[in-house]
Amino acid sequence: MATLLVSVNCSSQVIGLLKYNGGGDWYANPTALKNLGDFCTENNVAKVALYPSEIEPNELEKSGISFLHATGHGRIYFETEEVVALRNFVERGGFLHIDDNYGMAEFAQTELQKIFPDQTPQALPIDHPLFHGPFVFPDGLPKIHEHDNSPPVALGYFIEDELVAVLTIESDLGDGWEDPEVHNDDQETREKALKMGANLVHWALTRNTKP
């Protein structure tokens, strides 16, 4: 597999917000990605540039995006050509992160199964490198907001044993990335969310390379 999309500058990571169909609020966390990008850059995780607008699956090929994020509270749906575009995206070296903002997880799993039809998603174990660099989470995915009083889970999707997509459930990382006044999270909670997000961005750039 290629480690980066052809049009991405090798010294930086381009992150973008996925606009999807189905009725879910893809726009739910408007300040999240900018804050995550700033955090990554300021903490020397990666030089991050934010794609200037939301993007639809069929626009990905020439976008230069290497880290694609989706969130929302409701239904997410991909047409056949969008499934193909997203599969091509991860096969070219892109990384897909879907973050359940509550009410999205079941729909997201159905749509991810279209992209990875031969897989059963795997809950990433707490010793997976994703949780151990650059920032260490010894207990795995952190809990940022309470939804259904269930433990947070990161479901992983793979190509040739390489983690290329993650669905985070019962964590709500994106809410923790937002401006402090949006959810009134304390500094510790926001820092946990941003550090876990930085690990995702780092993984997207380096994959199986240790930090």
With 70 as the cut, is the pLDDT of residue 25 above it?
yes
Domain assignment present for residue 2? The answer is no
Asked if 175 and 185 touch (Cβ cutoff 8 Å), the reply is yes
Direct distance between the N- and C-terminal alpha carbons of the chain, in angstroms, rounded to an integer: 20
Strand 162-169 relative to strand 153-159, pairing: antiparallel
Sign of the C-alpha dihedral, residues 35, 165, 45, 142?
A: positive
> What pLDDT sits at residue 1?
41
Q: pTM of the entire structure?
A: 0.91
Question: For the segment 159-170, what is each residue's pLDDT rounded down to a tens digit?
Answer: 998 999 999 999
Task: Give the chain's count of helices (H) and strands (E).
Answer: 6, 7
Q: What is the mean predicted confidence (pLDDT) over 137-157? A: 91
For residue 132, what is the domain's CATH number? 3.40.50.12140
Total tally of structural domains belonging to the chain: 1
Residue, of 168 and 209, whose pLDDT is higher: 168
Domain assignment present for residue 4? The answer is no
Please name the residues in contact with 80: beta carbons below 8 A apart, sequence gap of 6 or more: none
Domain assignment present for residue 104? The answer is yes
Domain assignment present for residue 5? The answer is no
Domain assignment present for residue 131? The answer is yes
Domain assignment present for residue 6? The answer is no
Domain assignment present for residue 59? The answer is yes
Residue, of 21 and 102, whose pLDDT is higher: 21
Supply the range of the domain harboring residue 187. Answer: 12-206
Asked if 208 and 133 touch (Cβ cutoff 8 Å), the reply is no
Residue-averaged pLDDT of the chain:
91
Domain assignment present for residue 3? The answer is no
Distance CA 211, CA 199 (A): 10
> What pLDDT sits at residue 113?
98
